[in-house]
Structure 1
Amino acid sequence: MENYRLGPKRRDALKAIGLAGFAAAGVSTLGSPAPAQVVGASEQITREVAAGDGLSGKTAIVTGARANIGRAIAVELARMGSDVVVHYHRPETRDQAEQTAAMCQEYGVNTALAVGDLGQKDNVMRMFDMATDTFGRLDIFVHNAGALVKGPVAELSDEDYVRMQRVNVDATFYGFREASRRIEDGGRIIGIASSVTGGPPPQYGVYTGGKAFMNGMILAMAKELGPRSITVNSINPGPLDTPFFHNQETPESVAFISQLAPMNRLGTVAEMMPAVRMLLSPEGMWMNGETLYINNGYLQA
């Protein structure tokens, strides 16, 4: 089997869009390695799967982890053996963040708390500094924090827009950028987006735009960080039975939305965890640049 080689024109094109490393290595725009490299990677992943040592010795940041799906992900990371930085947005919710940390510590891992509006770059920098200063490394970044104000675009205020923009767009950019710079080779980046990106319902327009921004970044970053064996993926949950969802809905709208899923109910945070485990595991190494819709067929119902 011969190695794939790029012609001069394609190498020049790759260099022109900032992919000189790919051009020099002789790989396609999809980042496909030479066959010999593929064999080596397969042997390595087989050894890692056989070892089955989970995430012991790893460090993770989970944003928006005081409750709901963020808490579930933080606890799942701890169960798998990772130390966890638990981020929460407002000082007045510290008690909930401490509860998340205590649940993580039940698995014998170490935790740290980080507070702040991640729409402000300085808060993002402090959060990442805390992770590396406290634990000496960063292996996993899960960006879960999100903000939703439901309403027709014509009726949303400037304040509504700014609130969603800061959390769903600005915080995503700052967080993903810093993770790209600091995360260890072989690390994992996961964004928690939303199934609304696959079919925006009325009154979710601005929220959908923010989550679509996240999914777009993930596709590009997967290619940018692939040479370092860092995977970048998003999980797009359907409607979940959480306060985050119920706070925006009425009993009537909850009943209507529930029957849109083939199983006629809302999802649970626990039902999102198999996807989280897969993306974090050695078996999930080949899943990269994916937007996983975990919604019981909600979009197709």
Structure 2
Amino acid sequence: MSKHSLSGKVVIVGGGAKNLGGLISRTFAADGAKIIAHYNSAATRSDADKTVADIKAAGGDAIAVQGDFTKVDEVVKAFAAAKKHYGSIDIAINTVGKVLKKPFAETTEAEYDSMAAINSKAAYFFMQEAGKQLNDGGKICTIVTSLLAAYTGLYSTYGGMKAPVEHFTRAASKEFGSRGISVTAVGPGPMDTPFFYGQETPEAVAYHKSASALGGLTKIEDIVPLIKFLVTDGWWITGQTIFANGGYTTR
């Protein structure tokens, strides 16, 4: 199979049930990929089932797999389920994350631990298991955040816990490179999804919309083509974190 095509490739999508992950699952399936749409808990099972049903209705091939990726054994089980069903895995994309907007001085230990587990630990062990289970020539991509280049308060645990993923990406790309596996991270700007609005005031939403040079919030439809490029024709890009945010932040 060509590294430039998704046809016949097996793709596991962490958080692949809805929003950005759901669009990745549907889009890649439409291009001929076989999809493992991961979902976290019973709360998102219906989203995962609908995504799989939509893919199958369109003539594609997909399954849903549940797992709390803050627990390493559940990451391992999700990859094992994918390999058991499809025989092998070619591409691993992780969109799992959680935002917390809160003053530094008010953040609790429980909140810190939760944010670290969801945004850093889950990403680390997803990448680790992908490195173990992907076919040679595979691709790994993780969603981070453009806040990594922002000079701002209130997102200390979100930006702070996504920041290590930049180095995880560099280290993994160096270690997995001998097998032809490229590893990248993508940092969208504030995305026009329910993931964004939950913690923002109307005034903050207005600011975020006005902050990008090209105007408005990041659309998930603008991120999926970049991810598709990175795991196909853009395979030569590795170890990099790429910001796709309409000029929201840069460095």
Counterparts of 2:51 and 2:152, CA distance in 1:
32
What is the one-letter code of the residue matched to 1:122?
D
1:86 to 34, 37, 53: 37
SS in 2 for 1:163: helix
SS in 2 for 1:172: helix
Residue 245 of structure 1, CA deviation: 0.4
What is the one-letter code of the residue matched to 1:292?
I
Residue 173 of structure 1, CA deviation: 1.5
Counterparts of 2:150 and 2:15, CA distance in 1:
24
Q: Deviations over 1:216-251 (max 9, x none)?
A: 100111111111111100110011111000111011
What is the one-letter code of the residue matched to 1:295?
N
Change (3 A) 1:111 1:205: same
Contact residue 61 and residue 87 of structure 1 kept, 8 A: yes
Residue 263 of structure 1, CA deviation: 2.7
Contact residue 81 and residue 107 of structure 1 kept, 8 A: no
Contact residue 17 and residue 47 of structure 2 kept, 8 A: yes
Taking the TM superposition and a 5 Å limit, the aligned residue runs for 1:219-238 are 219-238=170-189
Q: Which residue in the other structure is 1:298 paired with? A: 248
Gaps of at least 5 residues in structure 2 are none
What is the one-letter code of the residue matched to 1:165?
A
User: Are 1:288 and 2:215 an aligned pair?
Assistant: no
Higher relative contact order (CA 8 A, sep 6+): 2
Counterparts of 2:86 and 2:154, CA distance in 1:
42
TM-score by length of 2: 0.95
Counterparts of 1:216 and 1:86, CA distance in 2:
26
More deviation in 98-107 or 57-66?
98-107
Gaps of at least 5 residues in structure 1 are 1-46
SS in 2 for 1:87: strand
What is the one-letter code of the residue matched to 1:175?
F
What is the one-letter code of the residue matched to 1:79?
A
SS in 2 for 1:259: helix
Taking the TM superposition and a 5 Å limit, the aligned residue runs for 1:55-134 are 55-134=6-85
* Pairwise CA RMSD: 1.7
Contact residue 65 and residue 71 of structure 1 kept, 8 A: yes
Counterparts of 2:49 and 2:193, CA distance in 1:
19
TM-score by length of 1: 0.80
Taking the TM superposition and a 5 Å limit, the aligned residue runs for 1:97-246 are 97-246=48-197
Q: Which residue in the other structure is 1:253 paired with? A: 204
Residue 108 of structure 1, CA deviation: 2.4
What is the one-letter code of the residue matched to 1:111?
A
Residue 105 of structure 1, CA deviation: 2.3
What is the percentage of aligned positions where both structures have the same residue? Answer: 33
Residue 275 of structure 1, CA deviation: 0.6
